[in-house]
């Protein structure tokens, strides 16, 4: 155990953050961190960007100084019933045993695989760099080390354009990647500003995303469309549920014809 504690000093330099880690995460999670850092996926964890229902997201750096985002799913307090609903019925994760840790590990693997498939379908998501147990390492979204705000928190400059982007994502997901995001809202879209001061939208939080063959896929899809329509309508975009739904479906011919990036079995 003493050795395991020493490892924490190697990848967390900040004393307060070390204390937080010790309080919030169990020894297995700290060891998983150690494993990913020795694999070179990150070097130092720097600070907590945000904590959500299911995960803590930290900013980290690799040994060349590049920023990384490290998402650590909670293994103790996660809502397992909720998670299970999205795993059962997704044929990629049929073989997952149903104890708490297995579910969270499968969820982490699922988010990694989903991000990969989404990126291949041309949806702007953080690029996934690797995972182990309940840890996912991905591209850090932000400018000069400052994490991007969500669409909910910071809004954006051009809502018409943002709406078109999100509709385009939904169509690419559905028709090209065979996926439904299943938690699409202004809370899971980041608005990044690049070095040339241009805004870029980035879709995050893809652990719950399911294959279109999931028995609840249609329900999840309709909920996504509803959230998107409601938010953008409030921002003055001339849309509603029916129009947003039609706008996504109208892109079928554009995207369904292209070679599909189908979701295969999740990698172990
Ligand atoms: N790749 C990233 N780069 C920068 N910040 C991120 C990144 N991923 C997540 N975040 C931040 O962490 C928060 C929680 O992440 P999210 O994936 O939405 O998890 P949760 O399931 O806890 O909602 C986000 O609202 C955002 O502020
Ligand atoms: Mg979220």
Active site residue 43: no
Beta-strand relationship, 199-203 and 189-193: antiparallel
The H or E element that residue 3 is part of is helix 2-11
Ligand 1: residue whose CA is nearest its atom 18: 205
Q: How far apart are the CA of 1 and the centre of ligand 2, in A?
A: 34
Residue owning the nearest CA to atom 27 of ligand 1: 50
- The residues spanned by each domain of the chain are 2-142, 146-256
CA of 52 to the centre of ligand 2 (A): 6
Check pocket membership of 206 for ligand 1, CB cut-off 6 A: no
Question: Active-site residue among 43, 90, 168, 205?
Answer: 205
Distance 196 CA to ligand 2 centre (A): 27
Q: Is 62 a catalytic residue?
A: no
Name which CATH class applies to 146-256. mainly alpha
36 lines ligand 1 (CB under 6 A): no
d(CA 265, CA 117): 12
- CB half-sphere exposure, 188, CA atoms < 13 A: 20
Distance 192 CA to ligand 1 centre (A): 13
Candidates 157, 165, 163, 164; CA nearest to 233 is 163
What residue's CA is closest to ligand 1, atom 20? Answer: 52
Distance CA 46, CA 62 (A): 11
Q: 43, 90, 168, 183: which is the annotated catalytic residue? A: 183
Residues in contact with 144: Cβ distance below 8 Å, sequence separation at least 6, in sequence order: none
* Cα–ligand 1 centroid distance for 267 (angstroms): 23
- pLDDT value for 9: 80
CB of 204 within 6 A of ligand 1: the answer is yes
Is the distance from CB of 46 to CB of 59 less than 8 angstroms? yes
pLDDT in tens, the chain (268 residues): 444 444 688 889 999 999 988 888 988 999 999 999 999 999 999 999 999 888 999 999 999 999 999 999 998 766 777 888 888 889 998 887 778 889 999 999 999 999 999 999 999 999 999 999 999 999 999 999 999 999 999 999 999 999 999 999 999 999 999 999 999 999 999 999 988 999 999 999 999 999 999 999 999 999 999 999 999 999 999 999 999 999 999 999 999 965 555 555 444 3
CA distance 136 to 99: 20
CB 42 within 8 Å of CB 36: yes
Residue nearest atom 13 of ligand 1, based on CA coordinates:
50
What CATH superfamily is the domain 2-142? Phosphorylase Kinase; domain 1 (3.30.200.20)
Q: Which atom of ligand 1 is nearest to the CA of 141?
A: 3
| Ligand 1 atom with least separation from CA of 57 | 12
Task: Locate 76 and state its tokens.
Answer: 């103790």
Residue 72: nearest ligand to its CA? 1
**Atom number of ligand 1 nearest to Cα 140:** 3
- What is the distance between the alpha carbons of residues 53 and 77, in angstroms, rounded to a whole number? 9
């Amino acid at each position: 155990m003493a050795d395991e504690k020493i490892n924490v000093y190697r990848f967390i330099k900040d004393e307060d953050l070390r204390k937080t880690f010790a309080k919030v995460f169990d020894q297995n999670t700290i060891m998983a961190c150690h494993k990913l850092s020795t694999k070179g996926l990150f070097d130092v964890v720097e600070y907590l960007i945000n904590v959500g229902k299911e995960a803590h997201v930290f900013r980290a750096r690799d040994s060349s100084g590049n920023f990384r985002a490290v998402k650590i799913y909670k293994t103790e307090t996660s809502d397992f019933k909720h998670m299970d609903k999205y795993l059962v019925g997704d044929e990629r994760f049929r073989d997952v045993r149903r104890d708490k840790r297995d579910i969270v590990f499968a969820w982490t693997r699922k988010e990694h695989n989903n991000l990969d498939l989404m990126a291949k379908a041309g949806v702007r998501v953080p690029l996934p760099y690797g995972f182990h147990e309940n840890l996912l390492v991905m591209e850090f979204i932000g400018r000069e080390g400052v994490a991007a705000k969500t669409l909910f928190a910071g809004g954006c400059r051009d809502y018409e354009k943002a709406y078109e982007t999100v509709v385009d994502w939904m169509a690419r997901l559905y028709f090209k990647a065979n996926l439904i995001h299943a938690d699409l809202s202004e809370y899971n879209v980041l608005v990044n500003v690049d070095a040339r001061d241009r805004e870029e939208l980035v879709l995050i939080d893809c652990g719950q995303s399911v294959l279109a063959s999931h028995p609840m896929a249609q329900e999840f899809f309709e909920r996504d469309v509803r959230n998107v329509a409601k938010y953008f309508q409030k921002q003055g975009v001339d849309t509603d549920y029916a129009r947003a739904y039609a706008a996504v479906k109208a892109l079928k011919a554009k995207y369904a014809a292209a070679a599909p990036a189908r979701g295969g079995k999740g990698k172990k």
